[in-house]
């Protein structure tokens, strides 16, 4: 087997006295599978960006008068959310889980990708081929029409195959844990959380009252599994934070065993989900409250110690090298946006646009972390390293735009502006309300530019493959 030394920018260079939270990247078939999942994630962001243009314009005062507001807003919101959250996150999970698996069962890995890709295409085409009613259900909004629902089912089948393969081929960790072992445990925990989410979705479909229709039906179907998926996203983000901190030169004074314990606590909270189904009727208030409590408690317990360690490491970290600047930029932006989303969540009351402000902050925090991890993995997947200046600017621009976006939503929410409405339905009475939503719109447009810049940076790297001949692991 041929081996060479990796370029300096692809190596993890942990600071002295700190835990090395890094993972080696395998060569060969697993790398090819991971690259294919990366392409799905990139294309989903392209599609999401196109739909987000309609979404932002439909809620921007004055501009929204040019559009058939209600229909454009709701349809764009459904597809935008599903592509930018569900498909994008699962695709990057596919990258990480494929790299974290053994070289066996590759046919099932490619089958999972094929199903997920086909489902994504069908969901993206649905708005143009008789989309059906837009249902703004929490976690997974849908277009209540056959094409979209078939696409969602095919995508779910792909995720199920991906999860089964990842569980089957998860690496054995043993009893001695280093930073890399802790990251592998975190990735394995995210697979288990996704498996629980799929079980919850199936359970809900089996027992949901058939008398329910529209939003009431889908809200119950997606509530349990949607909560479980938040653990998946959180675990992936925490893995990315630790990984990015290490490879960007920050000194993480956090024991791998403590990190593993935090991952384990988050995973334990996931198993409240099946208990909630056994203990309470899925349409009951008690069922919803228990799942919400588990998400807040379990996620918070894991997030706080790891985020504190990352923040302290960043506060005392030396200036990053040119190659590490994009990674540091993505990490800092991710921590700030996730923290902003968490703080906003403490002040939510009623149903207004503060809710999507909280949601956007947290989800964008996850997105930025995964963007940074993609930048780190590109050379290890056989592509050119991202252009340093553009890759450093991109997380800052995207994060700044999203921060303006959520500040505008919080501002407007203080005046009672309702969520999931657009145009005349927003009923903006005062100059302050208009200004808040205008700030939201401007921030959203800046964020769109930042998101598209990520696509541009990654696309340039994908067009410049480099030869890599390291040992397969």
Is it the case that residue 418 has pLDDT exceeding 50?
A: no
Which pLDDT score is estimated for 5? Answer: 36
Instruction: Between 284 and 347, name the one with better pLDDT.
Output: 284
Mean pLDDT lowest among 64-78, 116-130, 151-165, 362-376: 64-78
Is it the case that residue 425 has pLDDT exceeding 60?
A: no
Nearest to 456 by CA among 375, 336, 366, 365: 375
Q: Each residue of 385-405: pLDDT tens digit?
A: 898 889 999 999 999 988 887
Cα gap 345→348, rounded to integer Å: 5
CATH top class, domain 325-473: mainly alpha
Q: Are 417 and 348 in contact (CB under 8 A)?
A: no
Which pLDDT score is estimated for 236? Answer: 96
- Element holding 97 (H helix, E strand): helix 88-99
Q: Are 81 and 99 in contact (CB under 8 A)?
A: no
Which pLDDT score is estimated for 347? Answer: 59
Per cent of the chain over pLDDT 70 is 80
Q: Each residue of 215-224: pLDDT tens digit?
A: 899 999 999 9
Which pLDDT score is estimated for 346? Answer: 64
Start-to-end Cα distance in the chain = 12
- Element holding 361 (H helix, E strand): helix 354-377
Residue 8 phi, psi (nearest 5): -55, -35
Which pLDDT score is estimated for 2? Answer: 38
Per cent of the chain over pLDDT 90 is 45
Which pLDDT score is estimated for 123? Answer: 94
Is it the case that residue 306 has pLDDT exceeding 80?
A: yes
User: Residue 143 forms beta bridges with which residues?
Assistant: 134
Which pLDDT score is estimated for 356? Answer: 66
Mean pLDDT lowest among 66-75, 189-198, 253-262: 66-75
Which pLDDT score is estimated for 471? Answer: 38
Which pLDDT score is estimated for 65? Answer: 58
Highest mean pLDDT, choosing among 14-18, 341-345, 346-350: 341-345
Question: Can you say how many angstroms the Cα of residue 409 is from the centroid of all Cα atoms in its chain?
Answer: 21
Strand pairing category for 133-135 and 142-144: antiparallel
Which pLDDT score is estimated for 71? Answer: 64
Mean pLDDT lowest among 129-143, 203-217, 327-341: 129-143
Q: Are 362 and 231 in contact (CB under 8 A)?
A: no
Residue with tokens 């030869």: 467
Is it the case that residue 12 has pLDDT exceeding 80?
A: no
Which pLDDT score is estimated for 169? Answer: 85
Q: What is the mean pLDDT of residues 124-153?
A: 88
CB atoms within 10 A of CB 49: 19
Cα gap 287→280, rounded to integer Å: 5
Structural domain boundaries in the chain: 325-473
pTM as predicted: 0.86
Q: Each residue of 447-464: pLDDT tens digit?
A: 888 888 999 999 999 887
Cα gap 397→386, rounded to integer Å: 16
Q: What is the mean pLDDT of residues 274-283?
A: 92
Q: Are 331 and 310 in contact (CB under 8 A)?
A: yes
Q: Each residue of 29-81: pLDDT tens digit?
A: 899 999 999 999 999 988 888 887 766 666 666 555 555 445 667 887 888 88
Average pLDDT of every residue of the chain = 82
Q: What is the mean pLDDT of residues 116-138?
A: 88
Q: Each residue of 282-302: pLDDT tens digit?
A: 989 999 889 988 877 777 778
Cα gap 355→402, rounded to integer Å: 15
Q: What is the mean pLDDT of residues 332-342?
A: 88
């Amino acid at each position: 087997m041929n081996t060479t030394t990796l370029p300096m920018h692809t190596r993890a260079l942990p600071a002295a006295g700190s835990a090395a939270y890094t993972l080696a990247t395998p060569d060969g078939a697993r790398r090819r599978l991971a690259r294919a999942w990366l392409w799905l994630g990139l294309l989903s962001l392209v599609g999401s960006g196109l739909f987000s243009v309609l979404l932002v314009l439909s809620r921007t005062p004055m501009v929204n008068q040019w559009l058939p507001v209600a229909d454009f807003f709701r349809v764009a919101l459904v597809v935008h959310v599903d592509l930018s959250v569900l498909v994008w996150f699962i695709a990057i999970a596919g990258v990480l889980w494929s790299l974290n698996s053994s070289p066996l069962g590759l046919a099932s890995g490619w089958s999972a990708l094929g199903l997920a890709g086909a489902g994504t295409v069908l969901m993206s085409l649905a708005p143009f081929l008789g989309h059906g009613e837009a249902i703004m259900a929490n976690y997974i909004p849908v277009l209540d029409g056959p094409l979209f629902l078939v696409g969602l089912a095919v995508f779910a089948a792909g995720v199920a195959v991906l999860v089964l393969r990842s569980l089957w081929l998860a690496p054995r960790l043993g009893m001695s844990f280093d930073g890399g072992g802790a990251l592998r445990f975190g990735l394995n925990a995210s697979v288990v959380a996704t498996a629980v989410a799929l079980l919850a979705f199936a359970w809900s479909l089996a027992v949901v009252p058939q008398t329910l229709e529209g939003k009431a039906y889908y809200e119950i179907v997606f509530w349990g599994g949607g909560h479980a998926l938040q653990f998946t996203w959180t675990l992936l983000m925490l893995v990315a934070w630790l990984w990015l901190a290490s490879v960007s030169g920050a000194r993480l004074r956090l024991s791998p065993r403590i990190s593993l314990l935090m991952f384990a606590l988050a995973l334990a909270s996931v198993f409240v989900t099946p208990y909630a189904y056994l203990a309470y009727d899925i349409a009951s208030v008690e069922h919803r409250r228990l799942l919400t409590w588990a998400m807040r408690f379990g996620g918070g317990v894991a997030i706080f110690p790891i985020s504190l360690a990352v923040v302290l490491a960043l506060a005392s970290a030396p200036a990053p090298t040119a190659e590490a600047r994009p990674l540091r930029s993505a990490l800092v932006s991710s921590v700030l946006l996730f923290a902003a989303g968490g703080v906003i969540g403490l002040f939510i009351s009623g149903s207004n646009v503060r809710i999507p402000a909280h949601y956007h902050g947290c989800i964008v925090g996850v997105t930025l972390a995964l963007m940074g991890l993609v930048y780190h993995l590109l050379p290890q997947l056989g592509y050119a390293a991202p252009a340093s200046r553009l890759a450093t600017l991109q997380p800052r621009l995207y994060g700044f735009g999203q921060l303006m976006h959520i500040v505008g939503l919080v501002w407007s929410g203080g005046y009672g502006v309702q969520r999931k409405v657009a145009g005349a339905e927003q009923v903006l009475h005062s100059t302050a309300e208009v200004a808040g939503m205008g700030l939201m719109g401007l921030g959203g447009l800046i964020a769109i530019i930042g998101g598209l810049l990520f696509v541009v940076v990654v696309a340039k790297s994908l067009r410049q493959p480099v030869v890599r001949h390291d040992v397969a692991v």
